[in-house]
Amino acid sequence: MAERFKNFVDGRWVDARSGKTFENRNPADRDDLIGYFPLSGAQDADAAVKAAKKAFPQWSRVPAPKRAEILYRAGELLRLHKEEIAKGMTREMGKILQETRGDVQEGIDTAYYTAGEGRRLFGQTAPSELTDKFAMTVRLPLGVCALITPWNFPLAIPTWKLFPALLCGNTVVLKPAEDTPHTAVKFVELLVEAGVPRGVVNLLHGRGEEAGAALVRHPDVRLVSFTGSCAVGREIAAQCGRDLKRVSLEMGGKNAEIVMEDADLELALEGALWGAFGTTGQRCTATSRLILHRDIKKAFTEKLVARAEKIKIGDGLNEEVEMGPLINDAAVEKVQGYVQVGKKEGARLLTGGSPCRDKTLQRGFFFQPTVFDRVTPQMRIAKEEIFGPVVSIIEVKNFEEAVPVLNGTAYGLSSSIYTRDVARAFRAIRNLEAGITYINGPTIGAEVHLPFGGVKDTGNGHREAGTTVIDIFTEWKTVYVDYSGKLQKAQIDNVD
């Protein structure tokens, strides 16, 4: 009998008010039922928000260094349970163990980094224009934060949001993706063990259109932090705009790797394979376009196809496997649909293009590594996010042509160029429209102490990770202390 899991509200594990549940299954083996999870609705969201609101006054008054100590303990617990969480994550969402271990490590790194910021929630001091007057700024928490997270990084992304939110003195309701609820349960269990007080962290399972939407609309939620699709992000932004509610959005990407004629081709090939097929292409930073200089295009393409066809596909719990499944049947249908779109548009399919036919893979959502050639920048497969193991090759004659091709999508998350020319590298840093640019590295591989985010339709201007995330989860307050003993009028009394 599969285990039945619960929401975590006001320090207690509880069922959804409706009593309804949904199944969580292994994408590498759909016969493997991980468990049943609460199908929450508006009433459950309301209870979680009320609990967080009740806990906010006391939690916000805990000194930031003391809050940081709890986060550090959470990092230590994640470190101790790293292998257990990684294996559970692979079973739940499919990516290989090497990657799920990295996912947990990212959470550990975020815990340690954020804990260090507990003694650096700096404001500013500034001279006043008036005599015997002091001026400064301080950071204050917002209140209840709704954190809506995706399935492809089921531990790392929740830590990116939750740890800084708590450090700043906010309370939270975490709504994980319905494809990865089990990892969220394990995370919250460790947070409780680390000492997070009752009501400070609440966990709400369910579908985005029900539980997630109820959180976004709730009048007591002061901030919504969302990572997911651009379509959903637009709806969230519209609702938060109507409510004058702060919102942080991290959405899609259509990232490209430029390979110039002077590049280290073996290095660029390794980057392309990792960027395109790591996490089965299910990353917002995945390399979905390869912009190749015409002088090296033929040789590079041949090597890419040969290597792609040798990628070992299977259950990610097998240490020899290099690429796991897509997340679910809908993902398979979407990727297969884009393959058909590419063919109709006139692109040439070099390899892959269909679900894996091996009998040992029939119970999972496995898809072949897919490479398209003769792609033009105007094609849909060159502009739209596919979120699968599909990469499109676009030929250019020089660097000056490559830059507008890379910039020619609605997204602007990550970018990459392989070149030995330092001048080109710095022009790429300046001219590529992306929140992240890698020189001689793939488009994937963020580090937690640096800002993460993009431009254009990738988000709404906020950055997660690094010190910039603190700006999302705090309000600035300006403070004036006048000890002159008389009324002083700024912009009036300072003028002769």
Q: What is the CATH number of the domain that holds 472?
A: 3.40.605.10
Catalytic one of 284, 385, 433, 464: 284
- Quote the pTM value: 0.96
Cα 19 to Cα 39: distance, rounded to the nearest angstrom? 8
180-232 pLDDT, tens digit per residue, is: 999 999 999 999 999 999 999 999 999 999 999 999 999 999 999 999 999 99
Query: Which backbone phi and psi does 309 adopt, to 5 degrees?
Result: -70, -15
84-102 pLDDT, tens digit per residue, is: 999 999 999 999 999 999 9
Within a domain: 445: no
Within a domain: 25: yes
* Whether residue 225 is found in the same domain as residue 353: no
Within a domain: 485: no
Mean pLDDT of all residues belonging to the chain = 97
* Whether residue 346 is found in the same domain as residue 263: yes
pLDDT of 76 reads 98
- 269: number of Cβ within 10 Å: 20
Number of domains composing the chain? 2
The CATH number given to whatever domain includes residue 397 is 3.40.309.10
Cβ 22 vs Cβ 37: under 8 Å: yes
Cα 53 to Cα 82: distance, rounded to the nearest angstrom? 32
Mean pLDDT throughout 277-295? Answer: 97
Cα 392 to Cα 275: distance, rounded to the nearest angstrom? 12
Q: Pairing between strand 21-26 and 12-14?
A: unpaired
Q: Would the CA dihedral through 324, 99, 449, 291 be positive or negative?
A: negative
247-280 pLDDT, tens digit per residue, is: 999 999 999 999 999 999 999 999 999 999 999 9
pLDDT of 357 reads 87
Q: Is 284 a catalytic residue?
A: yes
pLDDT above 90 (res 495): no
Mean pLDDT throughout 100-128? Answer: 97
- 428: number of Cβ within 10 Å: 24
pLDDT of 235 reads 97
pLDDT of 1 reads 74
Q: Is 250 a catalytic residue?
A: yes
Q: What percentage of residues in the chain have a pLDDT greater than 70?
A: 100
* Whether residue 186 is found in the same domain as residue 231: yes
Between 443 and 359, whose confidence is greater? 443
> What is the extent of the structural domain holding 182?
3-251+459-478
Catalytic one of 117, 250, 385, 395: 250
Mean pLDDT throughout 285-299? Answer: 98
Within a domain: 492: no
Cβ 216 vs Cβ 247: under 8 Å: no
* Whether residue 32 is found in the same domain as residue 162: yes
pLDDT of 496 reads 65
- 326: number of Cβ within 10 Å: 26
